[in-house]
Chain A
Amino acid sequence: MDSVDIEILLALQDGIPLVREPFAPIAKHLGINPDEVIERLQRLQEQNVIRKFGIFIWKRKVGIIANAMVVWAVPSNRIREVAEFISRFKNVTHCYERRTVPNKWEYNLYTVIHGFKRKTVREFVEMVSKEVGVVDYLILFSVKEFVRRSSGRVRPEGTGTP
């Protein structure tokens, strides 16, 4: 990332204007061609600095009210296979392997699953459990969301913040 990339991200990270040519204002501000802004954004996306570019929805307001973190205890030699299976489904937004806390918390695979109804999420989890043969899991439904903010932000000097 060079200083122009950072200027672009600083200008756009909290949102682009809802106009026909949303990248024109920042191009004008930086005195460069809009095509260059777009090329730079594409490169940042290829480099996975930009993970997603699009609209962000308050999911509860469109009816997606069932949010579960489902944690699975998977034999360590099967982690990849199980993770890849479950990651194929669109209603699974996150899938991480995490450290366990021995003798206290043996779950090592963490998935976030969304749905319009809890019932659908439960049935989906039961299906996955049967398919992969992992029966030790917990469905932790969210009852309240207190925080949702993007942690990835650029600062003028180009390092991450909070």
Chain B
Amino acid sequence: MKTTGRLDIIDRRLLEKAQVVPLTLRPWASIANELEITEEEVLERLSKLCQRGIIRKVGPALSPERVGLRASTLIAMKVPESRIRKVAKLVSKCPEVSHCHQREHEYNFWFTVAAHDVVGLEKILENIRHGCDIAENDVLDLRPTKIFKIDVRFQLV
């Protein structure tokens, strides 16, 4: 990636540390302290990293199930290579889809969907399957039964 080389060690340490921001009056001051730089430098570096498109957001991630999205699933589909782009376009347009990847496997198209309840979820899935014209037999509906871990933080140093 073209941006990789341009991150110095302080950027990397900042990107790693700031993945958890303390909920205090001046959160950047504590991060600055840990990195032994000034609060101004933290803010300057963060805004540059935002401008460069390396940081996509500074703020909270909310738990879907705690804000009313009680039903979710992971879908895997077999999509012919020639139709991947079209299917991706359609699935991406669906606001209930949070992640969508093409992966290396016979089941090559994977996405996650969340909805208020199971009925709503199934309606969305039916619409997607029809819209994409994928046979039912080429779809795996992998409902979660237990979450053991969600902790999206990356080690960069």
Contact = CB atoms under 8 A, between A and B. Distances in A.
Partners in one complex: yes
Interface in B108-122: 110-112, 114-116
Contacts of A2: none
Most chain-A Cβ atoms within 10 A of its Cβ — which of B25, B27, B149? B149
B155 A90 contact: yes
Most chain-B Cβ atoms within 10 A of its Cβ — which of A13, A154, A162? A162
A145 B29 CA distance: 35
Interface residues of B, number: 80
B152 interface: yes
Interface in A4-57: 9, 12-16, 18-23, 34-35, 38, 41-42, 45, 47-57
A143 B61 contact: no
Nearest to A35: B25
Contact of A93 (B12, B91, B150): B150
B155 to A, nearest CB: 6
Nearest to A138: B105
Main secondary structure of the interface of A (DSSP, over half): mixed
B143 interface: yes
Interface string A97-114: 111010011000010001
B56 A56 contact: yes
A123 interface: no
Given A54-B18, A54-B21, A140-B110, A64 B102 contact: no
Interface residues of A, number: 80
Contacts of A161: 68, 95
B91 A55 contact: no
Given A13-B62, A138-B105, A159 B68 contact: yes
Contacts of B82: none
B42 to A, nearest CB: 9
Contacts of B135: none
B54 interface: yes
B28 A153 contact: no
5 contacts: A52-B60, A55-B46, A92-B149, A145-B101, A146-B111
